[in-house]
Amino acid sequence: MATISSIIPEIHQPKNGLLPINIFDRNKLNDPNTLNKVPQKMEKTIYNTVNCLVRYFLKRDAVSAFEPCFLGASFIREEHKAQMIAKKVTGLDDTSIIACVHLASYEECLKSVSEYRYIEDKEISAEIIKNIKVLFNRIMSFMSRYGSKIIYNHTLEGGYSDTIDTGVVPFVTSESLLMLSFNEVEPTPEETLEMLIYFVMGRHSIYPTLKEIKYVSFFNPITNTFYRCSAALISGTAMTLVEEKVLKYNENHYNVESNKKVDEFLSIKDAIEYLGIDEAKFDKIVKSKQLIIDKEENKVSVKNLNEYVQNKRMTNKLVWILSLTSILAIVILVVILLTVK
């Protein structure tokens, strides 16, 4: 499997990157809490732990939230142990955080088993726990202020190629791609390149939501700063370079238009997450025959899913127009009545 992170070190970029951070707008958020100085060897584990907690609180499902941890643990035959540890994560209390630190350390096995290090409870100091809480609260506060429905780990069917055939966008809202950046200063050229690749793959994907993205964004909880760039400012030359030299779409495009290697169905779980609804609402839509589950595949047709999304948007637009028309009619009627008097 080829991922974005695995090929980024091989890509040559200009000094400021193909997607320079200096074209992003910056907005520093207020927070009276400060971060403690902690051992450098623990910093990466802290950031992984915060990511785990964010996944858990967004999904409220330990199985999917800690899936990378379980996978890493399986490489050293400790998957059962990891699953037992996951049961201790119930909130943002100290016991939950300590358990989450142990879980997060397993993710290192995904890169190399030799990088895994068991962390003793005594290493998880009060200062480390405080930092985790501060970073986590900053992220959740930012996401609540962001205002839009947030989908975690959005897939990119139709945008994959032989160069990158797996991976997901960390966060997707109704108008933006969003990544978390844990740096003392600002997002690095490697991070902005990763964002650029997500953006290009999204444009070539089968999902209308990703094709219509208006912004690419970063949130850095260390500096508590939000970075946002309009899609219109992204260089066409940089996008073409990613398409042709990185993803090599001219050689092996999986796009839906090319009718090659594109999954025609999504699992029910992925369809529910894509729509941003719960299982009960999904079942109601299926019963109304707006969505049809393929009984043989036990999946949802991508074509059917996209038709439902487009029809839903059209219905919402008509409702908005009718509501606006009704309001205008009432205003005109009131004006006429007042004028008559």
pLDDT over threshold 60, residue 117: yes
The residue that leads in pLDDT, 250 or 69, is: 69
Q: What is the mean pLDDT of residues 36-50?
A: 90
Closest CA to 171 of 193, 191, 148: 148
Sequence-ordered list of residues with C-beta below 8 angstroms from that of 198, at least 6 positions apart, any chain: 4, 156, 169, 177, 179, 216
pLDDT over threshold 60, residue 261: no
pLDDT over threshold 50, residue 258: no
* Helices vs strands, H then E, count in the chain: 14, 9
Give 286's pLDDT tier (boundaries 50, 70, 90): confident
Cβ distance 36 to 222 under 8 Å?
Answer: no
Cβ distance 235 to 20 under 8 Å?
Answer: no
pLDDT at res. 4 = 84
pLDDT at res. 19 = 95
Model confidence pLDDT, tens digit, residues 288-323: 878 777 766 677 776 676 677 666 666 665 666 777
pLDDT over threshold 80, residue 324: no
Q: What is the mean pLDDT of residues 239-264?
A: 65
Dihedral, CA atoms, 146, 151, 152, 155, nearest 10 degrees? Answer: -140
Q: What is the mean pLDDT of the chain?
A: 83
pLDDT over threshold 90, residue 166: no
The residue that leads in pLDDT, 64 or 95, is: 95
CA 223 to each of CA 39, 141, 150, 277: distance values in angstroms, whole numbers, following the listed order? 18, 14, 22, 33
pLDDT at res. 257 = 42
Structural tokens at position 167: 């991976």
Sign of CA dihedral 105, 109, 115, 118: positive
Structural tokens at position 129: 């726990």
pLDDT over threshold 90, residue 127: yes
Q: How far apart are CA 320 and CA 317, in angstroms?
A: 5
pLDDT over threshold 50, residue 262: no
